[in-house]
């Protein structure tokens, strides 16, 4: 699954700067040429208003319709500019071209707090070809680039991806919202997780079917694509839509669901017609048949009433529901009952409900259920590719959020509760201006006192280890649930001393990591080599193995938030320390391993610390290394002046 942790407009200084914003104003028009639905324009308002409030000069760029690379004023952006002016209560200056003299002159004279719209980007064939010269010309008008067009984020076009090669590039709030909803629903869903797929063709959703089967508890398939699955099961489907070339694929997906223990729900009855209506909304005579008794001369165009009940009941019991694709020919009211039933069930559900754009989003809007859905995606194709786990070019090109620099003090078996409280209060004053995150890992008995002392400060409290069981006959152990209940946010796992003296293994480290994540704790995972292993020249390979084992079974969104501490065993308690270059080499090997496991988006944001005798004298040099994001500090964390220097490095 694609993971994104991208900077937004809130992460940059845009005051007084010219900002080019890619919006998706590809809005529909009625027969009289008026905008019939302005939701895409309304969806971009938070980003636009934020930039204007910050006194930026805003240059909007979008496409509309299919002008096929030619200037065709039938597809002008002027109506969208007019509607945006009405919504903002201020003039939106309309350019006469895209990168021509009028656009450049208007952009040049645009003042902070003003807004303008370029003409339709697809008036140039170079747009869809992602021509670098075209992208460079666009970029020349601004100082920053913001992409807030999720609906086109799956396209590698000049205005969605190419322009990011020439300007600092961040996301708008609409894309941030889409990433959060779709990413959390699929990467971190509350179970039971039900996915509903509809639409006409299996071929359109090949990858997403397989991907969702691995993540959801129940996969519901309706719409025209259901009949290919039914035929694959041996049912007669009459004249219903069928993709005969995908019958073997459907059989393999049915087998996959059984193998994974997932529920795959198909229609049990169908609403049929004699022939497809022309026009599509013409009156039709329907008849309902069970899927085991469909006549040869009938066409299934909607799920039947029993299937409506079956699907609705599954939605009722879900905690997360994602829906992409209608259940039938919903444009015809007579053949929309299945789509209505799913929409009603989602609207009545207490679950997190997400509609993945396209026809299903249009259906929800038309049927009046939009206000009761948690999130309706603005991008049909983009949301589908996101659910498939593909990288979206219009998002991948944006800058990642800056990695956190974390100074974590491991107090080991030092300080009583009263001493811990006094120390944290003193430390809080010394690090109040630190830009780095500060964590204190205190003895178990000191956790409550430390948490109380840390209230209202920038200091977080960590535990030094935990058990991987929820409960049981484990005298002296502390569970993840206990730590979470106290309010602890972090836990050290696999420290070299735990490995050396308490038989911590790669297997128990992995079990603890997954248990910590289960209860919302952030693991600080320690890896490192002994002196003999370093002399044997196997450090990088060993550390890579330890990282892979520790994160086995961990999702990409979870991995991105984990902290990994490179902690050479030979440097713990010996006074020895790795040189800056030695530490950097291993931390880079760790980041490369994360990239191999999870991709560049995760590897670019994960925090990697150095933890071998980090002190006030060497911290600045270590933290300056490109792949080192702070330190796991031992003895130096017990002295306020020293730890304050480290925290401020």
- The DSSP code for 419 is H
In 3D space, the residue among 288, 348, 324, 110 whose CA is nearest the CA of residue 212 turns out to be 324
Kindly report the CA angle at 262 between 260 and 264, in degrees rounded to 5? Answer: 130
Q: Are 577 and 533 in contact (CB under 8 A)?
A: no
Tell me the two tokens of residue 31.
Answer: 């027969």
How far is residue 408 from each of residues 74, 435, 572, 633, measured CA to CA in Å?
Answer: 61, 14, 15, 6
Farthest CA pair distance, the chain: 86
308, 338 contact by CB (below 8 A): yes
Q: Of 126, 495, 497, 529, which residue is the catalytic one? A: 495
Token pair in block for residue 299: 């066409």
495 as an active site residue: the answer is yes
Containing H/E element for 185?
helix 173-187
Question: What are the tokens at 636?
Answer: 């130096």
Torsion of CA 106, 107, 110, 114, to 10 degrees: 100
Structure tokens at 642: 């020293």
Neighbour tally for 481: CB within 10 Å: 16
Look at residue 472 and give its three-state secondary structure: coil
At 183, phi and psi to the nearest 5? -65, -45
Q: Which of 278, 272, 260, 348 is nearest to 303 (CA)?
A: 272
Strand order from edge to edge, sheet including 287-290? 287-290, 269-273, 299-303
Per the residue annotation, which of 178, 504, 529, 567 is the catalytic one?
A: 567
Active site positions, annotated: 495, 567
């Amino acid at each position: 699954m694609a993971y994104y942790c991208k900077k937004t407009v809130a992460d940059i200084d845009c005051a007084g700067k010219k900002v080019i914003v890619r919006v998706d104003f590809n809005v529909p028009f009625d027969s009289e040429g008026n905008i019939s639905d302005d939701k895409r324009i309304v969806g971009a308002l938070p980003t636009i208003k934020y930039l204007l409030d910050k006194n930026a000069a805003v240059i909007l760029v979008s496409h509309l319709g299919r002008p096929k690379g030619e200037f065709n004023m039938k597809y002008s952006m002027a109506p969208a500019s007019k509607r945006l002016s009405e919504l903002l209560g201020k003039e939106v200056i309309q350019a006469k071209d895209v990168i021509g003299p009028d656009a450049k002159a208007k952009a040049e004279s645009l003042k902070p707090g003003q807004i303008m719209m370029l003409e339709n980007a697809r008036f140039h064939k170079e747009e869809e070809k992602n021509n670098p010269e075209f992208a460079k010309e666009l970029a020349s008008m601004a100082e920053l680039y913001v992409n807030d067009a999720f609906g086109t984020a799956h396209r590698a076009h000049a205005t969605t991806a190419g322009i990011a090669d020439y300007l600092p590039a961040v996301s708008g709030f609409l894309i941030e919202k889409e990433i959060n909803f779709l990413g959390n629903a699929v990467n971190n869903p509350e179970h039971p997780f039900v996915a509903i797929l509809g639409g006409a063709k299996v071929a359109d959703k090949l990858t997403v079917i397989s991907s969702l089967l691995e993540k959801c508890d129940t996969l519901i398939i309706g719409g025209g694509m259901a009949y290919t699955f039914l035929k694959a099961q041996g049912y007669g489907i009459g004249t219903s839509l069928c993709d005969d070339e995908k019958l073997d694929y459907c059989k393999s997906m049915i087998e996959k669901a059984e193998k994974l223990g997932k529920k795959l729900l198909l229609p049990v009855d169908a609403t049929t017609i004699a022939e497809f209506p022309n026009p599509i909304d013409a009156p039709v005579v329907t008849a309902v048949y069970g899927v085991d008794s469909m006549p040869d001369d009938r066409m299934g165009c909607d799920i039947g009433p029993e299937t409506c009940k079956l699907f609705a009941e599954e939605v009722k019991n879900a905690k997360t529901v994602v829906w992409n694709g209608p259940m039938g020919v919903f444009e015809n009211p007579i053949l929309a009952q299945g789509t209505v039933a799913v929409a009603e069930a989602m609207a009545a559900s207490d679950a997190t409900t997400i509609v993945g754009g396209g026809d299903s989003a249009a259906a929800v809007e038309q049927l009046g259920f939009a206000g009761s859905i948690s999130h309706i995606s603005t991008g049909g194709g983009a949301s589908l590719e996101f659910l498939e786990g593909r990288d979206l070019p219009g998002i991948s090109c944006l800058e990642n959020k800056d990695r956190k620099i974390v100074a974590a003090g491991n107090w080991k078996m030092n300080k009583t509760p009263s001493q811990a409280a006094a120390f944290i209060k003193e430390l809080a004053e010394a690090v109040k201006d630190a830009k780095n995150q500060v964590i204190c890992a205190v003895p178990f008995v000191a956790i409550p006192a430390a948490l109380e002392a840390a209230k209202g400060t920038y200091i977080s409290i960590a535990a030094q280890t935990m058990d991987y069981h929820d409960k049981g006959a484990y005298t002296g152990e502390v569970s993840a649930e206990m730590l979470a209940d106290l309010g602890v946010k972090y836990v050290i796992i696999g420290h070299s001393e735990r490995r050396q003296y308490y038989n911590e293994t790669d297997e128990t480290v992995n079990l603890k990591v997954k248990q910590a994540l289960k209860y919302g704790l952030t693991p600080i995972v320690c890896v490192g080599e002994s002196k003999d292993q370093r002399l044997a020249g196997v450090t990088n390979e060993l550390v890579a193995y330890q990282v892979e084992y520790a994160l086995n079974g961990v999702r990409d969104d979870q991995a991105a938030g984990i902290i990994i501490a490179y902690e050479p065993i030979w440097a713990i308690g010996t006074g020895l320390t790795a040189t800056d270059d030695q530490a950097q080499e291993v931390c880079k090997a760790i980041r490369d391993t994360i990239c191999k496991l999870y991709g560049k988006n995760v590897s670019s944001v994960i925090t990697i610390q150095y933890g071998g005798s980090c002190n006030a004298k060497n911290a600045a040099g270590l933290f300056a290394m490109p792949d080192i994001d702070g330190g796991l500090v031992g003895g130096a964390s017990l002295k306020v002046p020293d730890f304050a220097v480290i925290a401020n490095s």
